[in-house]
Structure 1
Amino acid sequence: MAMPSKSRPSGQKGRTFTETARRAQIVRYAIETIADIGYAKASFEEIARRAGISRSLISYHFAGRDELVTEVLTSVYTRAADYMTAKIAEAKTPPDMLESFIRGNLAFIGEHRQDMAAVLSIVVHARTQSLTAKPEASAAQPRLDGLTRILEWGQQSGCFRPFSSSAMALAILQAIDGAHQLKGSSDGINLDSYADELVTIFNKATR
């Protein structure tokens, strides 16, 4: 694993605008590469080759693959959170908010196929390799926490029945993330109809 350069600023506050922009470009290159050939084959060398830059440039900005992968996940989940916030903001009740959460997540998946393909490849690799460090855990936690708060609000207001909010949140997220399997589906299922079904299922499950 490459060691950080002594000249590299430590932390976001120490980076110049140019360094921050270059890191964002490298993250984009990494997303494109991972989505295309999978996490296992997306080495620094391969990312650099496809981006037309030197491997040393990537190593300057990222101490190792783990740091780059964490940045990829954080980038995608942050953009997804911003997207979701706008979708949920107009909801007035917990059921409406839950529906907006489900539809908004699926809409983001549909509009950002490459980003989500990269995330899925990283997450699947981490799980199948039984890695001690789960790179998606910290990046995905705000999404789980936000959904759990929606469910708890629904219970407190009497809109939802008593249930384990953490278990229900996990079930909803697993169903949403399963939409990745619809890519190339031959049975005519699309994200819009899938969203309709999930809204119906979890509307009944939470009432």
Structure 2
Amino acid sequence: MPSKDQQLVQKGRTFTETARRTQIVRCAIETIADIGYGKASFEEIARRANISRSLISYHFTGRDELVAEVLTSVYSRAAEYMTAIIAEADTPPAQLEAFIRGNLAFIGENRQDMAAVLGIVLHARTQSLTAKPESSAAQPRLRGLASILEWGQQSGDFRPFSSSAMALAILQAIDGAHQLTSSAEDVDLDVYADELVTIFSKATRQEDV
């Protein structure tokens, strides 16, 4: 979700400004997914959006800001999608399963968006962007999963472990599906989800005494 500062800034924008920023972000997603982060310059995004480069510069101070907005847009939509799914599960194991399956369902339904996210994240890790936009954008997702795991430990459903380490392992396994779907169109994400649910159900469950 956007921070309070971001929400205040958004409230100060006109409808036209908000719509134009949304258009630019959408075109940036499509461009990065199509030709890769390295080639997705302001000039190329502007050409594909049929607008001037200066218009993008008016709305975004630089590439880092646009990239951060792309990630925030995708992660925010994913969070809204996931919230409804997780709310239907009433136990920690059920919420963990819903989290895994819901994330993979979102990936399957938004492959272009996730291809753009993957391109940004991989570039940030290998080229050392001045900012690490994926870190702040992904933090609510990491904290949300950690809270499910901690609830399971408190209820006795899950064994003792580092909730942050386990959450990171689960997220990395989920995000590995991005790479699979980007290299093959016939990846069965339902089967992938089944495997992850089995693996992490066994990894987190309370051992029999």
TM-score under structure 1 length normalisation: 0.92
- The 5 Å alignment of 1:149-168 reads 149-168=147-166
Q: 1:111, CA displacement in angstroms?
A: 0.3
- The 5 Å alignment of 1:84-163 reads 84-163=82-161
CA distance in 2, matches of 1:59, 1:202: 44
Match of 2:167 in 1: 169
Match of 1:205 in 2: 203
Greater helix share, structure number: 2
Match of 1:45 in 2: 43
* 1:19/1:145 CA distance change after superposition, 3 Å: same
How many residues align? The count is: 197
CA distance in 1, matches of 2:129, 2:50: 31
Which sections of structure 2, spanning at least 5 residues, go unmatched? 1-7
- The 5 Å alignment of 1:54-69 reads 54-69=52-67
Q: 1:132, CA displacement in angstroms?
A: 4.6
TM-score under structure 2 length normalisation: 0.91
Match of 1:7 in 2: none
Q: Structure 1, residues 138-189: CA drift from partner, whole Å, max 9, x if none? A: 1000000000000000000000000000000000000000012322449x75
CA distance in 2, matches of 1:11, 1:97: 34
Q: 1:121, CA displacement in angstroms?
A: 0.3
Match of 2:191 in 1: 193
Structure 1 letter corresponding to 2:179: Q
Q: Give runs of ≥4 in structure 1 deviating > 4 Å.
A: none
Aligned partner (choices 19, 22, 25) of residue 21 of structure 1: 19
Structure 1 letter corresponding to 2:11: K
Structure 2 letter corresponding to 1:167: A
CA RMSD of superposed structures (Å): 1.4
Structure 2 letter corresponding to 1:47: I
Q: 1:13, CA displacement in angstroms?
A: 2.6
Q: 1:17, CA displacement in angstroms?
A: 1.2
Given that 2:64 and 2:131 are in contact with CA atoms closer than 8 Å, whether structure 1 keeps it comes out as no
Aligned partner (choices 66, 78, 82) of residue 80 of structure 1: 78
Q: 1:57, CA displacement in angstroms?
A: 1.0
Q: 1:131, CA displacement in angstroms?
A: 3.2
CA distance in 1, matches of 2:11, 2:94: 38
Given that 2:29 and 2:113 are in contact with CA atoms closer than 8 Å, whether structure 1 keeps it comes out as yes
Given that 1:103 and 1:195 are in contact with CA atoms closer than 8 Å, whether structure 2 keeps it comes out as yes
Which sections of structure 1, spanning at least 5 residues, go unmatched? 1-9
Match of 2:4 in 1: none
CA distance in 2, matches of 1:165, 1:151: 6
**Among the aligned pairs, what percent are the same residue?**
84
Given that 1:62 and 1:68 are in contact with CA atoms closer than 8 Å, whether structure 2 keeps it comes out as yes
CA distance in 1, matches of 2:190, 2:11: 41
